[in-house]
A and B are shown apart, each in its own frame.
Chain A
């Protein structure tokens, strides 16, 4: 099966009450092996709920969720499913368990009963992959937010998952920490071909993905390449989202009657398009 993650007609609500019912209704989504999917959406649009469904922390009331072909509601294969999907959460502090960095990274493999020598190898490899090897003996509470988040990523990597789901991993970081974490995510994708689902509300982060899924009120409002998605400036604004600044500028210029192409995402592309347009005039 090429899809690592598969949601099939999923219906889910937090409460038993009738009025709460169907927060997510009949949602279907699949993520191909090796792809990098960004999930966008305003606050309360159901992004974290999807993360919880994927991780098996919550089970759907209707429909099924598959991780690497394993149904998350299959109790006998629970660990196997969890091992294959690495979750990284928003608050750096609340996902680090141990008092020493390398022991925290070892936590997942320890739970899986991996041999000590193999744990050692995986811990070293994971810390190197996130560029934190020199901090292996440090106490996590002495690290910066970006460093903590990289330790959290290493902790997930050490389980050797097939895919990673990151729920707003940069939301609580300063610009520098945000840069560190994004660079780490991109490196995982290049070096390991890791399947990545990045939940974010930063448009520039989403623009780095191969595919963007926009959520609104528990349903998929748009799904496509960053270029397709971000060229629909008006629609994004209706969904309560910003667009990347270069895209916004181009859109405004177009409305002012200047002839410019669609789907501009980066500053470079924006500069080129604008200079070309003015040269022609």
Chain B
């Protein structure tokens, strides 16, 4: 059961999007999220949608996989859409007791739902086409100017890498401990909340103990391999911007400008 959790949902394929520099992808994603929030009418949202679909198509990741990433947030989409439909005043279409559905409300809830879907899809494109390592690398480099503010960005990237490396190991270990306790008669599934929390303790404590033990041993191993922070460190894999990255930026910027113009120039509804 625990094994099904996937960390970093990289979907291997050969596509332009996969081949792009992760830094460029990361920055574009951030930029696009901002643009999504600036798109306030049909024209602008339509442009966002077209761009989004084009990127999905280029990524060569099956639509099915994208739909799966949307599944967990369906309740959130419905919830926000319903709230919006109910709370916006305007031309009443349907009324029952104190519940009013207005035309503006419906439109607005449609926009909101669409916007959330776009947000999820565009972040999925990044995580499906970029390995966790590439992503940490990109983040380390994108935020490297923060070093000047005496924030050690390298440390955060290192922590992320180690977390990614050890999460599967710790999940495996949790399963082992759970099975060991179950075979000794521990009951983890029934009983009151308090009883169940108490039943978890014999799992959490050994797990915590082992995690600390691992941390100390890993620290020793890292020190023996000459780790001394980010200073003077080189990397095996260099990130390089290639023609495709410049082309992507060349397309991306005008699209963003177009969306913002459409949003500003055409009235909201």
Contact = CB atoms under 8 A, between A and B. Distances in A.
Given A95-B218, A96-B165, A141-B168, A110 B236 contact: yes
User: Looking at chain B's contact residues, is the secondary structure mostly helix, strand, loop, or mixed?
Assistant: helix
Interface stretch (B47-55, B119-127, B219-227, B251-259): B219-227
Interface residues on B, range: 20 to 34
Contact of B236 (A89, A97, A102): A102
Interface in B115-173: 131-133, 161-162, 164-165, 168-169, 172
B228 interface: yes
B162, B213, B225, B228: residue with the most chain A Cβ atoms closer than 10 Å: B225
Contact of A82 (B162, B168, B226, B232): B226
Interface residues of A, number: 42
Contacts of B8: 99
A103 B220 contact: no
A103 B236 contact: yes
A79 B226 contact: yes
Interface in B216-269: 217-218, 220-228, 232-238
Given A99-B161, A141-B172, A57 B224 contact: yes
Given A57-B223, A98-B161, A156-B225, A89 B217 contact: yes
Interface in A117-149: 119-120, 123, 139-141
Contacts of B161: 97-99
A119 B236 contact: yes
B182 interface: no
B240 to A, nearest CB: 11
B214 interface: yes
Interface in A99-117: 99-100, 102-103, 106-116
B238 A111 contact: no
B224 A99 contact: no
Nearest to A105: B236
A154 B208 CA distance: 30
Given A141-B172, A159-B226, A99 B234 contact: no
A178 to B, nearest CB: 20
A174 to B, nearest CB: 16
Contact of B225 (A115, A141, A159): A159
Interface string A46-81: 000000100101000000000000000000000100
Contacts of A52: 220
B128 to A, nearest CB: 16
B234 A110 contact: yes
Given A79-B228, A95-B217, 10 more contacts: A93-B169, A95-B221, A97-B162, A99-B165, A100-B133, A103-B236, A106-B236, A110-B236, A119-B234, A156-B225
Interface of B: 8, 131-133, 161-162, 164-165, 168-169, 172, 213-214, 217-218, 220-228, 232-238
28 contacts: A52-B220, A57-B220, A79-B226, A82-B226, A89-B217, A91-B214, A91-B217, A94-B217, A94-B218, A96-B165, A97-B161, A99-B8, A99-B165, A103-B133, A106-B236, A107-B222, A107-B225, A108-B225, A108-B226, A109-B234, A111-B225, A111-B226, A113-B233, A116-B234, A119-B234, A119-B235, A141-B165, A141-B168
Q: Nearest 6 pairs between A and B by C-beta?
A: A95-B221, A106-B236, A94-B217, A87-B224, A108-B225, A111-B226
